[in-house]
Amino acid sequence: MPTQDLIKHFKNTFITDLSPRIFFAPGRINLIGEHTDYNGGHVFPATISFGTYALAQKRTDQKLCFYSMNFPQAGIIECNLSDLTYNEAHDWANYPKGMIEFLKSAGHTIDSGANILFYGNIPNGAGLSSSASIEMATGVLLEGLFDLTIDRLDMIQLGQKVENEYIGVNSGIMDQFAIGKGKKDHAILLNCQTLKHEYAPIKLDDHVIMIINTNKQRTLAGSKYNERRAQCDQALADLQEKLSINSLGDLTKEDFEKHKHLIKDEINQKRAKHAVYENARTLEALEKLRQNDLHGFGKLMNESHVSLQQEYEVTGVELDTLVKAAWEHDGVLGARMTGAGFGGCAIAIVAKYKIDNFIENVHEKYRNAIGYNPTFYTATIGDGAKEITGGVL
């Protein structure tokens, strides 16, 4: 939607003639390195052109008025700066409220209310991080509107804290980090233990990254995400009885094979195996990309999906059907689920000249097996969260 239309909506919603400032935070895909972030491993995400627009203006009183064009039926959600506690009735607005609350507690001065309108074009529940996108859009908005100096890493960590402590999902740092530090045409290799990171150019020559939405809705809060995390924590605790390690990310595949018997529960052993092998695959994938070996990169993506299906058990019939259909197509170098799993999206690296044929085939196979349609998007890798100057991204 053009920013002029968003401005019009803002003025109509809050009955004002003054133009708001406009901020944007993207969503993300993860190329490889899934469920490794909270296990002290590596991830390799990139920010996409879909995201969350946040338009805002300060108020002269202490009221915060939130409106989302995605949830018009919720109307304007109001609260006061003096009471930012989680409130179930405030629904989606708890995400920006949490950011405001935690930035204030971190010592930043937010001394007046604001009118804030959100518009997101990330498909809802698609596993492309719409919630982290709202958090980071709110972060850059507060920074701009209240003239704050917020270290970007602090903003990222506050976003994760909102998710963990305010919303109640034990997610890792990947989404907020990718969205906070994304760079056009690059993916970020992030060591989630040290937070050291490097950018890797994504040059796919005659290929594109397709995002394929299962259209099976999911929310992290309602998923088995926290359960997986607890299983990995238990596996780590078992290993720590004999080994001096900080996280599963400290183990090589060889270390794991040598010591896996220490993990008492068989299921926890499978979860830990995924975390260790996926971390190794992620580092290998960066090497393949550096060598311009897209076939090698694609093969690792495929192995990642198999491990998420068999060891981590977070794929489900919808994602498996999509990914299998993608693998069967001769224009595809690799395909896997992306994000937390349990529905959401898959990604595939597809030859440009085969895109139409790919969409047609995968669509048909998915529809026949699942009974409804998937949706296809071409991923464009854009920048991280920022203010939009002059109304252009």
Count the residues of the shown chain that bind ligand GLA, applying the rule CB under 6 A: 12
Active-site residue, 175 included: yes
Number of H helices, E strands in the chain: 11, 13
Q: Is 14 in the site for ligand GLA (CB under 6 A)?
A: no
Q: Is 174 in the site for ligand GLA (CB under 6 A)?
A: yes
Listing DSSP states for 218-265 in one string gives --STTSSHHHHHHHHHHHHHHHHTT---SSGGG--HHHHHHHGGG--S
**Smallest Cα–Cα separation from 345: which of 313, 393, 384, 378?**
378
Q: Is 172 in the site for ligand GLA (CB under 6 A)?
A: yes
Q: Is 135 in the site for ligand GLA (CB under 6 A)?
A: no
Catalytic residue (one of 111, 151, 154, 175): 175
Q: Is 315 in the site for ligand GLA (CB under 6 A)?
A: no
Instruction: Calculate helix-pair angle for 130-145, 174-181, nearest 10 degrees.
Output: 50
By CB under 6 A, the residues from 115 to 134 that bind ligand GLA are 129
Find out whether 249 and 36 touch, Cβ atoms under 8 Å.
Answer: yes
The nearer residue to ligand GLA, 126 or 239, going by C-beta atoms, is: 126
With a CB cutoff of 8 Å and minimum separation 6, the contacts of 273 are 256, 260, 307, 311
CB of 243 to ligand GLA, least distance (A): 23
Q: Is 37 in the site for ligand GLA (CB under 6 A)?
A: yes
One residue of 35, 108, 274, 386 binding ligand GLA per CB under 6 A: 35
CB of 295 to ligand GLA, least distance (A): 24
One residue of 130, 171, 247, 307 binding ligand GLA per CB under 6 A: 171
**Smallest Cα–Cα separation from 139: which of 359, 350, 386?**
386
CB of 353 to ligand GLA, least distance (A): 32
Q: Is 278 in the site for ligand GLA (CB under 6 A)?
A: no
The nearer residue to ligand GLA, 209 or 340, going by C-beta atoms, is: 340
Percent helix / strand / coil, the chain, rounded to 5: 45, 20, 35
Q: In what order do the strands lie in the sheet with 114-120?
A: 77-80, 63-68, 114-120, 45-58, 21-30, 386-387
CB of 286 to ligand GLA, least distance (A): 16
Q: Which residues are catalytic?
A: 175
Where on the chain is the footprint of ligand GLA (CB under 6 A)? 30, 34-35, 37-38, 129, 171-172, 174-175, 339-340
